[in-house]
Structure 1
Amino acid sequence: NDCLCSGSHSLWALRYFHLKHHLNLTEGVQVQQRMAGCEMFDNGEPALIMTKNTFNAVFVDHAIYYNMTHFTYDAGQLLQGWDGMRQLQEKILYENVLLTLCIRTLKTILERERRTLKRFLEGSFQVSCLAFGFYPRHINMTLLRDGQPVAEQELTGGEVLPSGDGTYQLRKSLEVSTEELKKRHNYTCTASHLSLDNKLDVSWESGTERVHLSTLSVLLVMLLVLFYWAFSFVSKGGGVTLPHSLNCILPRRRIM
């Protein structure tokens, strides 16, 4: 793998110097871009992989590799001077790096979509904890089931993301099957942040409302809304003001 990575780096470096000389470019920032995609048969075997490369937004070359047996390469105008050895290097890169990585990623995406479809057909709830509008970015948020933390591997999300207005947001979600719903668990979202004097808790008990189990999917959203946070930086040392208001919206249910 180290040899392949080193060879890939060398190949890109060769492309760079070849194109820079061919286009008579001076020193400065030059951009090489590669777009790659792949297809897979139903049995999981790779069907094809294709790439398109550009240099400073100008088309350079295009390649398609069919069924691990047939390789076509179009060097375009800019790389026609490349010899067979360098084209062979491209083929090796396809076989051992790009194809493997692309097919593995495609399988992961398809498996995730399959599980999502299965949950939709069987019917399920999604319990989500959502905090947004907070600053600074560090926050502790936990989803509890009957007072015990839910294992992180059962949850989706969990990454603090920018909201686009200088504040941040965090969501953690748990899929709850209709069978689990019958057990009438109590779910609690708890969050703590440096601007909160105490923890903020929002709870929902699965037996508090009538549930139509025949419904294909029901989305339950538990929102922890940290709303309209005002923040400012102090010229020395920095600082954060407390939120002007803090609202907690109780759980709501929507039948799809």
Structure 2
Amino acid sequence: MSILNCFGQPVGEEVPDWCPRPRPERVSLIGRFCSLEPLHVQRHAEALFEANRLDAQGALWTYLPYGPFENLPDYARWVEEVSHTEDPLFFAIVERAFGRATGVAAFSRIEPEHGRIEVGHLCYSPLLQNRPAGTEAMFLMMQHVFDELGYRRYEWKCDALNEPSRKAAQRLGFSFEGIFRQDRVVKGRNRDTAWYAVIDREWPALKAAYERWLSPDNFGADGVQKERLSLLTAPLLRQEIRYRSE
């Protein structure tokens, strides 16, 4: 939406009483299926390394700028290094069913002055993939960003060739916004980057979709979902720019 200034030129709508938002801190986010804890080498490195080893082909690391890690000391050194950074701010995803860390996620490209933040560095071990805990972790982070920190925009970016990540973004309610061509060089290869985002005015409806999907009533005694999240979030995506596979 735009308005005209005194010169008849279109300008963006005003953001009343805007002020920079707080930076995310090292806090724990607690859910029913999982919790997110500030990444810590002693508490999480060994469990994560062992969980990641279940991916024998190392596919977890294809689109990440680091990894794979051949041994626990190498991985622990990486965890020790990134656990102290403020941006990205790393979290371990601890699934209640296993009682240990099975994945990693981070807030990154944090811009409090604009109310803009990105979720990234997602590394879900086979123990976390396609499980409710993995979805709940994304909900907990998004809820923290919008409800507790008051950000305006939450981004998801991935390699344009990373089809699973692109499908996950839309399942989670992120709208496709375009491709940044030749965005960066990762591990000696070109990366075109696909951009997705959720903005604050979309959040209430998206939050309701998550809460409906995460409800105990949506899961049978066997733990299988009754209603798919993708069906709940699809109507909320910006249709005019929705990504469609060829």
Check whether TM > 0.5: no
The TM-score normalised by the length of structure 1 is 0.23
Whichever structure has more helix as a proportion of its residues is: 2
Determine which structure has more spread, i.e. the larger CA radius of gyration: 1
